[in-house]
Each structure stands twice: as C-alpha cells, then as structure tokens.
Amino acid sequence: TDIIDDLIAFRTEVRNGALLRLRHEGLDKDDAVVSTTGPYYKNPVSYAEATLSYYQCYVCERPYFGGIRRCDDNMDEEQGRFNPSELVCAVCVPLRQLKTCRTHGSEFIEYKCKFCCSVAQWFCWGTTHFCSSCHRMQERGDFVTKKKITDLPSCQ
C-alpha cells in the first residue's frame, strides 16, 4: 500500500498545484468553468486537469507545472522525444543562486524566453520558456525551435 499512498499523495499535489495555477492564470474565470453550459461548470479541478500539463521532476520526483496542455498538441515528433533528465522543476534547477519568495516559493519565478530574452509568459513541454511573440510563431508553424540562432529575434 506504500505505492498506492505515494500515488494518491502525488495526485493530490498535482490537483492542489493545478488549482493554484488555474487561479494564477485566470483560467478559473473561463466560461468552461463559470457558465452553466460550460463542460466543467463548477468543476475547476477537472478543468485544470484537462487544461494544464504537469510533469514529474527527474530530481525530486515531485510534480511541477509544465505548461498549458494545448502546447503539447503542437509538439512535433522530434520535440516529443526527450530525455527524462531534462524534466526538472524550478526548485531543483541547478541555479542555486536563485532567490525564492517567502510567500510563493519558487512556483511563480519569472523566466526569460529561450529564443529572444523577453519575459516568458509560456512554459511548454515541461522544459521550454516562450514569450508570447515566439509562442505565437511556434503555434502558427513558424517553429522557433527549429531556427538557427542567427535567425532568432535578437535580445533587447
């Protein structure tokens, strides 16, 4: 039963984190949750599970927020292959000089876009930070993940 207890604890941690993230992203006010005709009306936990991606950290084995699930749909086969050791939460990332907030810990640290150095608003596939501009390019099929460094937007 230790394995079952561990799985229940993991799922509970994912659900609690997903509800917090849902509120943080403002998705708890989405029509899917608040409209009487919404598929997740008054059921934010199910909406969070259907909308958000969580991954298990390779280092500490705890769950962490890895992005909006629809980004997984835009992942091509090459991006879908990854090394599990790349899935590392913000707490375990090897940047020990990172400060953490006494109230929020490291859950809501801001990162820069991997492709242009703007503040990232998107975190996809559990590994990659995007600003909105680079994320839109990726969603349109103008894959910044496949561009040469010289073809990426320059840092400001």
- Active-site positions? 71, 124
Q: Which helix (H) or strand (E) element contains residue 23?
A: helix 2-24
User: How far from the centroid of its chain's Cα atoms is residue 136's Cα?
Assistant: 16
Strands 122-124 vs 52-56: parallel, antiparallel or unpaired: unpaired
| Apex 112 CA angle, 142 and 156, nearest 5 | 80
Structure tokens at 6: 């561990």
DSSP string, 106-151: TTT---B-TTT-SBP-EEETTTEEE-HHHHHHHHTT--GGGS-GGG
